[in-house]
Amino acid sequence: MVNKFVMLSCAVLMAGCASTSSQTISELDGQTVMANARMGEAYDTALTNAANHYRAEPECESRKVSLHKQRKAFAYDICAFTPTRMQYAGAPLSEVVYHFIDRSVVRVDMRAEGSTDLLDKIRSDIDHFYARRDAQTRQLRQGSYEWVVGDEVTGVREGTGANAGNIHVRLLDRTLSTDAPWLTVE
């Protein structure tokens, strides 16, 4: 009986640890997972997962955009979640935003409340994550870092101006730099 209780307690504890909020980034089938989403994931899947995880409904906008030199119009959807009482890397998570083109995830943004300490913590975590994936790392400027692996670009930066007091983490599809450069600019 005692053993069962101990095992159950451990299971609960491990489950809690597995979903620890300090986990900033993860990997599934060779793809980076951020905010429960992967690049290329379908609109419905990503939003269903996010709604369940963040226990919130998204606010979405849709419009048509142009890509590269094509004269075909592409569907662009942007959906934002404002989680309450959720944490990211131990800090209050204020916003999660998904960007879709053709109903597939092309960019994910997370914003957490914090400053340099939080930036360093997340950066260290992501550095550790990418150490085994042979990522190209670079500092874009003071307080802004980027990791590139295959067609994925992960970035973390400290908010400035109106966004001061926030750390912004994002994952995006690298092909956007050709197809939709406006979407790679914050």
Partner 1 sequence: MLFRSLCALLLLACATFSVAADHAGGIDQVDKHFIIGGEPVFQQAVAPWIVALVYNSDAELVQRQFCGGSVIADRWVLTAAHCLFDRRGDLLQLSDLNVATNAADLGASNVPELLITNMIVHPDYVHNAANPHSDIALLELATSSGVEPITLSTKSSDKLVGLQATIMGWGAVDNDDPSQPKFPIQLHSVDVPVVSLGVCNAPVSYNGALYANQLCAGLEEGGRDSCVGDSGGPMIVNYEGQVQQVGIVSFGFGCALPNFYGVYTDIPYFIGWINQYVYVGEPEFEPELLAARTPTPTTTTYTDETVTAMPQSNSDVASMNWLLFALLGIGVIRRRSTW
5 versus 61: smaller Cβ distance to partner 1? 61
Residues ≥6 apart with Cβ < 8 Å to 90: 21, 22, 118, 121
DSSP string computed for 14-57: HHHHHT-TT---EEETTEEEBTTB-TT-BHHHHHHHHHHHHTS-
Chosen residue from 157, 159, 167, 171 binding partner 1 by CB under 8 A: 157
Could you say whether residue 159 binds partner 1 (CB under 8 A)? no
Subset of 46-105 contacting partner 1 (CB under 8 A): 62-67, 69-76, 101-102, 104
Residue 121's CB is within 10 A of a number of other CB atoms, namely 18
Regarding 177 and contact with partner 1 (CB under 8 A), the answer is yes
Cβ distance to partner 1 smaller for residue 150 or 181 = 181
Question: Which amino acid is it at 28?
Answer: L
Residues that bind partner 1 (CB under 8 A): 40, 62-67, 69-76, 101-102, 104, 140, 144, 146, 153, 155, 157, 170, 172, 177, 179-186
